[in-house]
Structure 1
Amino acid sequence: MRFSLVLAALLCFVTWMSAVHATHAPVASCCLGRSDTKVHPKNILDYYYQDEGACKITAIVFLTKGGSRICSDPNSKWAKRVILKVDEKKALQEMGQVEEGSPSNTTPTVSLPLTNAPQQKRRNGKGGRRGQNKCV
């Protein structure tokens, strides 16, 4: 009886500590501050919003081609412009994927090199091919 009471108390304590630690510990992916770093929009792959609910600050998090994260002020002109560029790029990619999968009514064209193309005359008036007689 005493053993089960100690075990139950220990289990309750561990559960309570893990719940307290989970709610008050900082989330690993949260931005702790905002950066003034500005990179070219072509180097941004994606973005997401960080709310104050789980993290301490509100930010827009940009994911770069190099694998870094840039935490920016969501109200800055640069962040708004980059969001528009990334959204445009995503929309174009989605349209491209839809068009690639759909059947097309166009016939592909192939250009072949001309084998009997006429040769331009040189300055001396002779044709461009050496060693061949001209047909008259």
Structure 2
Amino acid sequence: MRVSPVIASLLCFTTWMSMVHASIGPMAGCCYWRSNTEVSLDRIVGYTNQSKGLCPITAVVFQTKRGKRICSDPDSDWALKAIRKVDKEKEIKALQKMGGIKGSSSITPAVSTTATHAPEKER
């Protein structure tokens, strides 16, 4: 069976494009500039860090409750506050999932077994 050069070229090109897309990923997710937008911290639900390399700038990308993306300077005061807020909320949720934080604990406190007075030394 003989393969035509056009089909072979098309097959090679398609394979090459799929490998490039898999290794580099879609560039549509990159921030190309940083916004000075500072929304209320209670509207931020998550964030990701964008590093320079595949994308042109270093940024922190915040996700809002409405699904919006905000590209911010990772060193700005607002971004640092938002990161701490999201991290704290994730930590609280993880502890709640593990049973570490509840309204009332079902653990019975231990009774102290130490003596109220030490025995006297023999002379």
**TM-score, L = length of structure 1:** 0.62
Q: Is the 8 A contact 1:26 1:55 kept in 2?
A: no
Matched residues, number: 104
Q: Which amino acid aligns with 1:28?
A: A
- Give the corresponding residue for 1:31: 31
Check 1:100–1:69 CA distance in 2 against 1; reply closer, same or farther (3 A cut): same
Find the structure with the greater CA-based Rg: 1
Identity between Structure 1 and Structure 2 (%): 43
Check 1:45–1:105 CA distance in 2 against 1; reply closer, same or farther (3 A cut): same
In structure 1, C-alpha distance between the alignment counterparts of 2:99 and 2:19, rounded to whole Å: 51
- Give the corresponding residue for 2:107: 105
Q: Is the 8 A contact 2:95 2:101 kept in 1?
A: no
Deviations 1:64-95 (A, max 9, x none): 11110100001111111111111111111111
Check 1:15–1:94 CA distance in 2 against 1; reply closer, same or farther (3 A cut): closer
1:113-124 pair list within 5 angstroms: none
Calculate the aligned-residue CA RMSD, in Å: 2.9
Is 34-43 or 19-28 further displaced after alignment? Answer: 19-28
Check 1:35–1:101 CA distance in 2 against 1; reply closer, same or farther (3 A cut): closer
- Give the corresponding residue for 2:60: 60
Question: Using CA pairs below 8 Å that are at least 6 residues apart, which structure has the higher relative contact order?
Answer: 2
**TM-score, L = length of structure 2:** 0.68
Q: Which amino acid aligns with 1:4?
A: V
Any gaps of 5 or more consecutive residues in structure 1?
A: 107-136
In structure 1, C-alpha distance between the alignment counterparts of 2:20 and 2:98, rounded to whole Å: 46
1:1-136 pair list within 5 angstroms: 3-6=2-5, 7-16=7-16, 18=17, 22=21, 27-99=27-99, 104-105=106-107
In structure 2, C-alpha distance between the alignment counterparts of 1:92 and 1:25, rounded to whole Å: 33
Q: Which amino acid aligns with 1:38?
A: E
In structure 2, C-alpha distance between the alignment counterparts of 1:50 and 1:26, rounded to whole Å: 14
- Give the match's secondary structure for 2:99: helix
